[in-house]
Every structure is written in C-alpha cells, then in structure tokens.
C-alpha cells in the first residue's frame, strides 16, 4: 500500500515524538525500556496501566516523570484501607451564597486531573477501588445524578504490590478489565543498580522537561487508529482471545486445564490498538501478526482468571498465553 507524502510525514513525526518522550523519561528512569514503551503505548491508545512490583522499583517515579514530560495536571492518591470513594471523586458541600442563602456546590476530588497516580491501589478496599470504574471507562464522574466530564487526556496509572504481601486486597475483576495492560516491573540489573546509585547518591539527580503536549497525545491517538489491519490478521487476534476461554473449541490444552474465565472483548480491542502503535514504531503502515503477539501478554494477562488447579500449581497466566501464542496455526484463523 502506497502512502502519501503527508501521511508518511505524520507517521515520521509520530515516531519522533514517541522517541523524544521516551528519551526524556529515561533521563530519570534507569532501564525499564519495555515498561516505558508499553506505558506510552497505553497512554496514546487512550488506556490505563497497572504496574505491579515490589516497593522501591521506581513505579511512582515513573508516572511522576511522565507527567513532567507531558506538562499535564498531575495528582497522586495514596491508597489506604481507610480511603473512601468521596476522597477520590469529591463531594457536594453546603456553601453560603452572597444573599445569605445556602446551596450545594461540588468540590472536585484529586481524580480530576490529566494524569492520576493511584499509588498502591490494592491497599484500599474493593468499594474504594470500584470508585474508579466510571472514570476509567467513560472519562466522567456522576455525583448525585450530575455527570462531570473529565479533561482529556485522562490517564490512570495504578501501582500495586504483589498480592502475597501483607495488607493488600485483590482488585475486582471488573476494574482489572478497565486497565489497558498490566505490566510487571522487573528488578534492576547490576548495571542498572550502578547507574541508580550514581544518580541518587553522587549527584543532585535528574529531572524531565516537557517535550510533548497533551493535545499532541490526542492527535497521536487519532492517527494510530487510522493504521489498517487486514481481515486475516484481525481474525488471528480474535483467535488469540477465543483461545483463552476454556469452553471454546480453540482453547489450548493449558487453557482447558488451568483457566476458569478467559479474556473479555476489551482485551481484543486493547491488543488491536496496541498493535497499531507497534506497527507505526516499526515504520510500517499495516498491522502484522507479530504486533499482536507482542501485545497479547501485557493486555491479556490480567483479564484471565485461573481455576483452583492453576492457582495450586502456581501456573501464571503468562505461561498459558505463551502456549496459546505458540499453538495457534495459520489454518485456524478461518475458524475464529
């Protein structure tokens, strides 16, 4: 497919802005290139990110640096067991009017920001966690029958400690499905640890400057949706998602043995949108199967629920997804 000069220029600018943003964040964040790429992909796709890792790996610093690089309004909420939904959303308060009367006025909570850091989200109760459902999906908040629209772009990055750590609550499945992807933050390598020490113990540190605007992120999001995907590749994506369902004929053996519920249609949508952005970054104007395979694990891992056998055996959803990706033949696409 031939591209016009204007379109080629727009795609080149897309890659340039993406690289500038990644490079600016990398001034502060050491290593974690895959995490940064997937986070920026989710941001441009209009989704949200769930970061999981033990304390001290730079999860909070990552989202703070992202907000600085985008020059957007940033709010941080520290989730605790006693946090209430009104602490996030806001509430109606009674105020006195100039004529001596009284009326209700909505006081916005910290949720009204462009970039929201939900720090240690799994330390709050499910009731408070669920307060994020509407804003993450609809980009609006309804209080006492009145809907308040959030400013775009709106991006939630939530961090959580692994569930085996004390004082945590599993996130409701409905909320997990609202996250574009779930990223597992690895422990730094020895070389990365040396760089971290250089930056934190022997210098005054680094900071990120604003290099991309929020409006530009919205433009990049609109451009990425214009990337075409063939029917064959789209059916391959459908096959990947159907293979996560244990009762479907395309289910892999590992799915039938260890999975209770498979991924939702939101997982398929996220995989397609992420693959389109991967195609642009790879200087292509079409989506390939490899793009879907690259996005499958981060966007589907948190949308699959293991059964008791899978939990008892210590099987991870990543292991199941790798078997699914390796086991879907090309001649199975038509069956999807």
248-297 pLDDT tens trace = 888 888 888 898 998 999 999 999 999 999 999 998 888 999 999 999 99
Would residue 139 be called left, alpha or beta, if left means φ above 0 and alpha means ψ between -120 and 50 degrees?
left
Mean pLDDT of 206-225: 85
Q: Are 222 and 283 contained in the same domain?
A: no
Sheet holding 74-78, edge to edge: 74-78, 115-119, 155-160, 49-52, 181-184
Q: Are 221 and 290 contained in the same domain?
A: no
Task: Check: CB of residue 205 under 8 Å from CB of residue 61.
Answer: no
Q: Are 259 and 221 contained in the same domain?
A: no
Residue 48 belongs to domain with CATH number: 3.40.50.300
Residue numbers of the domain that contains 162: 1-82+111-190+216-226
Q: Are 233 and 182 contained in the same domain?
A: no
Task: Check: CB of residue 223 under 8 Å from CB of residue 315.
Answer: no
Q: Are 6 and 133 contained in the same domain?
A: yes
Q: How many domains does the chain have?
A: 2
Residue 314 belongs to domain with CATH number: 1.10.8.80
Q: Residue 35 pLDDT > 60, yes or no?
A: yes
The model's pTM is: 0.86
What burial class does residue 253 get, using C-beta atoms within 10 Å of its C-beta: 0-12 exposed, 13-18 middle, 19+ buried?
exposed
Q: Are 133 and 263 contained in the same domain?
A: no
Q: Are 4 and 152 contained in the same domain?
A: yes
Assess if residue 168 is contained within a domain.
yes
Q: Are 144 and 250 contained in the same domain?
A: no
Q: Are 185 and 255 contained in the same domain?
A: no
Distance (Å, whole) CA 276 – CA 294: 11
Assess if residue 209 is contained within a domain.
no
Assess if residue 208 is contained within a domain.
no
Query: Across-strand partners of 116?
Result: 75, 156
For residue 228, give Cα distances in angstroms to 266, 273, 298.
19, 11, 22
156-182 pLDDT tens trace = 988 887 755 666 777 878 888 889 999
Q: Are 45 and 181 contained in the same domain?
A: yes
Looking at 226, 252, 281, which one is the last position of a domain?
Answer: 226
- What Rg, from alpha-carbon coordinates, does the chain have? 21
Q: Residue 19 pLDDT > 60, yes or no?
A: yes
For residue 114, give Cα distances in angstroms to 63, 128, 139, 213.
12, 20, 10, 11
Q: Are 140 and 278 contained in the same domain?
A: no
Q: Residue 33 pLDDT > 60, yes or no?
A: yes
Pick the closest to residue 51 from 132, 145, 157, 152 (CA basis). Answer: 157
Assess if residue 2 is contained within a domain.
yes
Assess if residue 91 is contained within a domain.
no
| Residue 225: per-residue pLDDT | 92
Q: Are 5 and 126 contained in the same domain?
A: yes
Q: Residue 2 pLDDT > 60, yes or no?
A: no
Q: Residue 108 pLDDT > 70, yes or no?
A: yes
| Residue 57: per-residue pLDDT | 66
């Amino acid at each position: 497919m031939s591209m016009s000069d204007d379109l080629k220029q727009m795609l080149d600018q897309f890659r340039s802005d993406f690289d500038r943003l990644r490079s600016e964040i990398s001034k502060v964040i050491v290593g974690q290139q895959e995490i940064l790429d997937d986070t920026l992909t989710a941001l441009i796709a209009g989704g949200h990110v769930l970061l999981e890792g033990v304390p001290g790996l730079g999860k909070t610093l990552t989202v703070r640096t992202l907000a600085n690089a985008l020059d957007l309004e940033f709010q941080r909420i520290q989730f605790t067991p006693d946090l209430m939904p009104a602490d996030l959303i806001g509430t109606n308060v009674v105020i006195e009017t100039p004529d001596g009367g009284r009326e209700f006025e909505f006081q916005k909570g910290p949720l009204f920001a462009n970039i929201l850091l939900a720090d240690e989200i799994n330390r709050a109760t499910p009731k408070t966690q669920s307060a994020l459902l509407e804003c993450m999906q609809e980009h609006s908040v309804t209080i006492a029958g009145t809907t308040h629209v959030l400013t775009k772009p709106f991006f939630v990055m939530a961090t959580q400690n692994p569930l085996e750590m004390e004082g945590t609550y599993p996130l409701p499945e409905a909320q997990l499905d609202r996250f574009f992807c779930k990223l597992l933050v690895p422990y730094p390598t020895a070389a990365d640890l040396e760089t971290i020490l250089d930056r934190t113990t022997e210098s005054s540190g680094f900071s990120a400057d604003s290099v991309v605007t929020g409006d530009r992120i919205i433009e990049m999001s609109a451009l990425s949706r214009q990337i075409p995907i063939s029917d064959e590749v789209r059916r391959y994506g459908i096959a990947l998602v159907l293979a996560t369902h244990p009762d479907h004929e395309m289910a892999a053996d590992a799915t039938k043995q260890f999975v209770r519920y498979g991924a939702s249609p939101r997982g398929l949508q996220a995989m397609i949108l992420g693959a389109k952005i991967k195609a642009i970054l790879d200087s292509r104007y079409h989506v390939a199967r490899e793009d879907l395979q690259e996005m499958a694990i981060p966007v589907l891992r948190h949308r699959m629920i293991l059964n008791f056998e899978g939990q008892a055996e210590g099987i991870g959803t990543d292991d199941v997804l790798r078997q699914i990706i390796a086991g879907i033949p090309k001649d199975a696409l038509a069956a999807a």
